[in-house]
Amino acid sequence: MRTEPVLQVQALAKRYGGKTAVDGLDLVAHAGVTAVLGPNGAGKTTTLETCEGYRKPDSGTVRVLGLDPVRQSRALRPRIGVMLQSGGVYSGARADEMLRHVAKLHAHPLDVDALIERLGLGACGRTGYRRLSGGQQQRLALAMAVVGRPELVFLDEPSAGLDPQARRATWDLVRDLRTDGVSVILTTHSMDEAEQLADDVAIIDAGRVIAHGTPEELCRGGAENTLRFTGRPGLDVASLLKALPADCTAAELTPGAYRVAGKVDPQLLATVTSWCAQHGVMPDRISVERHTLEDVFLELTGKELRA
Amino acid sequence: MTTAGTYTPEPGAAPLPRMIAAQAALETRMLLRNGEQLLLTVVIPALLLVLFSSVDIVDTGAGAAVDFLAPGILALAVMSTAFTGQAIATGFERRYGVLKRLASSPLPRWGLMTAKTLSVLVTEVLQILLLTAIAFALGWSPKGSPAAVVLLLLLGTAAFSGLGLLMAGTLKAEATLAAANLVFLLLLVGGGVIVPLEKFPPAVQDVLGLLPVSALSGGLRDVLQHGAGLPWGDLGVLAGWALLGLGLAGAFFRWE
């Protein structure tokens, strides 16, 4: 494990004309997979492109692998891999041609054929880039980001618009990169993707990081979790409430459907089931609802993530 | 499926000459694969050379028509590749994010520009070989010093490249496509390529004579048709355009 963070962003601000895209953003990412999660227009791409050296910060500092992405770009560029949100390939190029070209710009590239096979692009062969499907173009862009054997890979919405199979291929590759010690910074507006892939999630909205932590930390923090079960209608909720810790609530939402809200831990679950046992109740369909990142985001901003 | 350690980082840029050579080879392949570009760079100049040399449409003055036309067609070939072709290709590379993607690769920007220039020069060599072969078949008898010709062609390439890149780096790709073709057509007619400048009214002639293609075709004609030494006036005009075009392109070129 690297001790130095792979990415350090301090008080980053970036405006386009009168519009503020990034507004005092702080972010530290360590080795592993970091997901930058937020709705469209939150400043994800601007932040990423500043880290990639495409944009100069209006204020604040950015260090990638300890380097200034604008001033030390020559030293940085061979060490990072970049997947743009779209495009990046000559319109007249064949599917594999640009990938082979990017490989040639690096000293120790991956085996291009194996990579093509791995991402299920083998069938594209000599097809022109423009005739590839959106999903194939996405995977090609992903391949271009990793072919140079970088230390750190930036993926801007790597699975946007992919079918489930292609999405799985992308996720599997990200997991393999992580296993082999490549750090990944990816943007997404899919909490599912962030939960599946990321060691660390930074939620950003309106150009700022509003929450940062492991998916578990983020989901545990915020508001309470929920335990639901069904039983016969008309149970004595007041008696159940007495058995529960003080900060919990219990209610019969519809006849026979009960909800306990509070800090749901193994102890609480045991308390509820033993209360049920005492009262001769079989708690059917008992379920614990974990907070999703979607809920966390909604609580923090009052907005839907997919808006 | 994948062995552990396949992706273990081992970063590094390829040696610069290898990167530039790979980039130049790719750019040349893209250009030669593009049908419209080939029409512009090869088919049109070759057709014009054959047509106007064998059919007496334009009065080209004393001597064989091909001796007048060949230098003009060489100038046209340089313009078609360094200006029109490069402007259109670069405009669409900018539009499709190719320039952006390459900007985060280990290839430095100046390396990319060097590769583009190499690709233009390789294409020009191929064009010139083909067109001189056709001209010789039509009975062309060139005079003058090859060194002066090479100097003119290089300065012309620099002037047209600067203007082409200025256009590609500041206009939208579609606007570049339209404008580059229009300029090609206008300069073909009004730049002394196949129509002698003497056919225009004297006042217009003076202005047209300052166009880069007029300077290039005029200079090449002085050397190849009349056996002159270094045509300083034309070289000066081309150098001026090169400084202006490359300077403005350097200042205003937007990569995305």
Please report the DSSP string for A174-227 in residue order.
HHHHHHTT-EEEEEES-HHHHHHH-SEEEEEETTEEEEEE-HHHHHHSSS-EEE
* pLDDT value, residue A221: 60
* Per-residue confidence (pLDDT) for residue B2, from 0 to 100: 60
pLDDT digits (tens, 9 = 90+) for B143-183: 999 999 999 999 999 999 999 999 999 999 999 999 999 99
What amino acid occupies position A230? Answer: T
CATH class of the A7-220 domain in this structure: alpha beta
Question: What's the DSSP call for residue A12?
Answer: E
pLDDT of B63 over the 90 cut: no
Is the backbone of residue B171 left (phi > 0), alpha (psi -120 to 50) or beta? beta
Q: Which is more confidently placed, B128 or A194?
A: B128
Average pLDDT over residues B51-80: 89
What distances in angstroms separate CA B237 from CA A24, A29, A156, B43, B253, one per listed residue?
Answer: 51, 55, 47, 28, 23
- Put simply, the answer to whether A176 touches B7 (Cβ < 8 Å) is yes
- Segments of chain A assigned to CATH 3.40.50.300: 7-220
Q: What is the pLDDT of residue A306?
A: 55
Closest approach of B252 to chain A, Cα-based (Å): 16
A92, B30: Cβ pair inside 8 Å? yes
End-to-end Cα separation, chain B, in angstroms: 38
Residues with pLDDT less than 70, chain A: 1-3, 220-224, 303-307
pLDDT value, residue B58: 75
Give ranges for CATH 3.30.70 in chain A: 225-290
Q: In whole angstroms, give the CA distance from residue B158 to residue B115.
A: 14
**Which of 36-55 (B) contact A at CB < 8 A?**
none
Residue B63 DSSP SS3: coil
B107 CB-near residues (< 8 Å, 6+ apart) = A105, B13, B19, B20, B23, B115
- The ranges assigned to domains in chain B are 16-252
Confidence band, pLDDT 50/70/90 cuts, at residue B78:
very high
> What is the number of other CB atoms lying within 10 angstroms of the CB of residue A247?
9
Closest residue of A to B31, CA-based? A92
Distance (Å) from the C-alpha of residue B4 to the closest C-alpha of chain A? 7
**pLDDT tens digits for range B28-44:** 999 989 888 899 999 99
Q: What residues 216-245 of chain B have any CB closer than 8 A to a CB of chain A?
A: none
B residues 71..110 contacting A (CB < 8 A): 92-93, 96-98, 100-101, 103-108
> Look-up: residue for tokens 């009960």?
A258
User: Which of A 242-301 lie inside 8 A of B, CB atoms?
Assistant: none
Q: Domain spanning A225-290 has what CATH number?
A: 3.30.70
> What is d(CA A234, CA A297) in angstroms, rounded to the nearest whole number?
35
pLDDT at position A36: 95
Which chain B residues are within 8 Å of A93, Cβ to Cβ? Answer: 26, 30
Please state, as a whole number, how many other Cβ atoms lie within 10 Å of the Cβ of residue B251.
Answer: 9
In the prediction, which pLDDT does A291 show?
A: 72
Token duo for residue A190: 């899919």
Average pLDDT value over all residues in chain B = 93
Residue A216 is predicted with a pLDDT of 81
Q: How far is CA A156 from the centre of its chain?
A: 11
**Residue of B201, B202, B231 lying closest to B218 (CA atoms):** B231
Is residue B59's pLDDT more than 80?
A: no
- The pLDDT assigned to A102 comes to 97
Q: Are strands A225-230 and A208-213 parallel, antiparallel or unpaired?
A: unpaired
